[in-house]
Amino acid sequence: MIEDFEIETMIRSHIDVRSLADDGMSQTFEYIAQLTDWFSDECARRPILSDLLVLSVSRSGGGASFDSLVDCVYGHPGPRRRDKDFRTVLSVVVGPADSILARAGDSGIDTLTPLLVWVVGDGSTDALLTVHERFDAMTRRTVADESTSPLMFMSTCQTLVHQLVRGLIRGVPSHHDSSCGSLVESASLSAQMRGVGYAVS
C-alpha cells in the first residue's frame, strides 16, 4: 500500500525589501532595479532558488513592484505558487534619510526580523544614528551611503543572499532567523563596508 511519508516541508524564506522614497527618486530606483535584475538572473541560473527563496520589493505607497515568485519563476508564470508558505527572514529598507524617517513608523516591519537599512543620498551620514534609532528591530544594521553608485548595496545584498541560500541548501531551516541576524551584524559584512558609515545593534 502506498503511503506518504513525512518528509521535511520546505518553507521558502522571504526577503522583504521596502523602497521608502518619494516617486521620482531615481537614485533609489536604480538601487532597487539593480537588485531585482541581479536576482532575476540568479533565479534563471539556479532553478532550485525558487523553491528556497522569495524576494519582494514594495514601494512606499505599499504596492508590490517586484515579486520573484511571479516575475522570476521560469516555467511557472503567474501567481499560482504564491499560496505556498514562506517566512520573512530579512527586511531591507532603502531610501533617502528624510523619506525613511517620515515613514519608518508605519513601515510595519517585524521587530523580530533582522533589518538592513540603506540610507542613500546626501546627508545620509548625518542622519545615520537618527535613522538607526528609529527602527525597533532587535538586530539591525544601518548604512549611510552617500555615493551615487549602488555597487556596495549590491555586493552587500549579494553576500547576504548567498550566505542565506548556502544555509538553506545545507538544510538548516530552523535557524533561518538567527543565521540572517548573525549575517547582518557580522564582522565580515562590516569589513566589506569601506568608505561608508554604518551602525549595528
Partner 1 sequence: MKVDIAELSVLRSFVAPDGNPSSEVKAPKGVGRGFRCLFREFDNAHGGAVANVQSLIDFRQKLPQAERATLDALFLWPLALVESEGHSVGYLTAVVKPRFEERVRTPHSGEVTVPRTLDWLNNPDHARAVGASVVVESHDIILRVAYCAQIARAIHFVHSRGVVFGDLGPLQVVTSDSPIDVMLVGTEFMRVGGFSGEQQRVHSVGMCPTECARGQTVHDVGTDRFKLAALFRRILGEAEESPAPLFSLGARIDNEGIGMFDRGLGTDPHARPSAFEWYSYLYSQTVSHSAPPVIEMFEVLPEHGLRYQSIEVTWRVRGHRRLSLESPWGEVHALGIGASRHRLTLKQSGQFRLVASNGHGTTEQSTDIVYAFDPPAVRFVEVPELGDIATAMTGLDSTFLAEQVVQGPEFNWLDGNFGAVALPELPRLPELPQFDSVEVPLRQIDWEGLTSVVDHAMRTAEKEARYGNAGLLLLRRRAGVFFSRARSLVATVATAHLRVRTRRRSSRRH
Residue range at the interface with partner 1 (CB under 8 A); choices 1-9, 116-124, 142-150, 190-198: 1-9
* Ranges of H-type helices in the chain: 26-45, 49-52, 68-71, 97-103, 128-134, 151-169, 176-184, 187-192
Asked if 7 is part of the footprint of partner 1 (rule: CB under 8 A), the reply reads: yes
Least distance between partner 1 and beta carbon 115 (Å)? 23
x/- map, 47-86, partner 1, by CB under 8 A: xx-xxx--------------------xxxx----------
CB of 165 or CB of 199, closer to partner 1 = 165
15 versus 168: smaller Cβ distance to partner 1: 168
Interactions with partner 1, residue window 159-178 (CB under 8 A): 162-163, 165-171, 173
Residues 29-48: x/- map of binding to partner 1 (CB under 8 A)?
--------xx-xx--xxxxx
| CB-based contacts of 193, cutoff 8 Å, min separation 6 | 143, 152, 156
Number of other CB atoms surrounding residue 16 within 10 Å: 20
User: Cβ(94)–Cβ(121) under 8 Å?
Assistant: no
| First and final C-alpha spacing in the chain | 55
Site of grid cell 545615520: 128
